[in-house]
A and B are shown apart, each in its own frame.
Chain A
Amino acid sequence: EEQLVESGGGLVQPGESLRLSCAASGFSIRSYWMSWVRQAPGKGLEWVANINEDESKKYYVDSVEGRFTISRDNAKNSLYLQMTSLRAEDTAVYYCVRPRLAYGYDAYDMWGQGIMVTVSS
């Protein structure tokens, strides 16, 4: 069975750091652009970042540019999101997502279960 499983969330204070991980199973992430999407409590979906197959291209939503870093380890079949200088407005459920088709942008047909990140003093 193909699946994505996020880990690493939790409660942190403003200004602190956290690293999210996403472990893929049942398929290889090697051929896919991978992304992170988040959802603040009671709010809509917000794309956060994506990364291409060989890590040569990385894109971020403006609000996290310079604070978050997306990375991947194709050998470990895993995706990561390093989050620094966290703010209260980063509080959200973070989803690891995969597009339908390899080697390009497409609709997200696979989502992890989501991991909660809470930034509060």
Chain B
Amino acid sequence: DIQMTQSPSSLSASVGDRVTITCRASQSISNYLNWYQQKPGKAPKLLIYAASSLQSGVPSRFSGSGSGTDFTLTISSLQPEDFATYYCQRSSTFGQGTKLEIK
């Protein structure tokens, strides 16, 4: 089975910061990588699909890149509403999550 490993597991940042979260696959997955945002008590929300495609309605400060085994989610300028937990996903496997907290 393919394993998905996110780093870091938690991250403290300030409003306006540029933030990058990494997801690594245990073997090549081409561009079959999705990113989700989850806020407490809410269902996850799709942000990025196919590694770099922005889901409709998602702000352009979110971007994704990568292919093969290494992927990144970047938030160009953190907004207060971006503090949440982020998950990468490939098919039936999710990363363990990255909790983004206010510094």
Chain A complexes with chain B: yes
Which A residues are closer than 8 A to B by beta carbons? 44-47, 50, 59, 61, 95, 100, 105-109, 111-114
Decide if B44 is an interface residue (CB 8 Å cutoff): yes
Question: Which residue on chain B has the smallest CB distance to residue A59?
Answer: B92
- Across-interface contacts of A45 in B (CB, < 8 A): 36, 38, 44, 87, 89, 94, 97
Q: Are A47 and B43 in contact, with the CB atoms below 8 A?
A: no
Q: Are B46 and A109 in contact, with the CB atoms below 8 A?
A: yes
Other-chain residue from B43, B49, B91, B94 in contact with A44 (beta carbon distance below 8 A): B94
Other-chain residue from A46, A107, A113 in contact with B43 (beta carbon distance below 8 A): A113
Q: Are A100 and B46 in contact, with the CB atoms below 8 A?
A: yes
Q: Are A114 and B43 in contact, with the CB atoms below 8 A?
A: yes
Decide if B55 is an interface residue (CB 8 Å cutoff): yes
- Across-interface contacts of B36 in A (CB, < 8 A): 45, 108
Q: How far is the CA of A106 from the CA of B55 in the complex (A)?
A: 12
Decide if B72 is an interface residue (CB 8 Å cutoff): no
Which B residues are closer than 8 A to A by beta carbons? 34, 36, 38, 43-46, 49-50, 55, 87, 89, 91-97
Question: Which residue on chain B has the smallest CB distance to residue A44?
Answer: B97
Q: Are A50 and B92 in contact, with the CB atoms below 8 A?
A: yes
Q: Are B87 and A44 in contact, with the CB atoms below 8 A?
A: yes
- Across-interface contacts of B87 in A (CB, < 8 A): 44-45
Contact sample, A vs B, 29 pairs, CB 8 Å cutoff: A44-B87, A44-B94, A44-B95, A44-B96, A44-B97, A45-B36, A45-B44, A45-B94, A45-B97, A46-B94, A47-B92, A47-B93, A47-B94, A50-B92, A61-B92, A100-B46, A100-B49, A100-B55, A105-B91, A106-B49, A107-B34, A107-B49, A107-B50, A108-B44, A108-B89, A109-B49, A109-B55, A111-B45, A112-B43
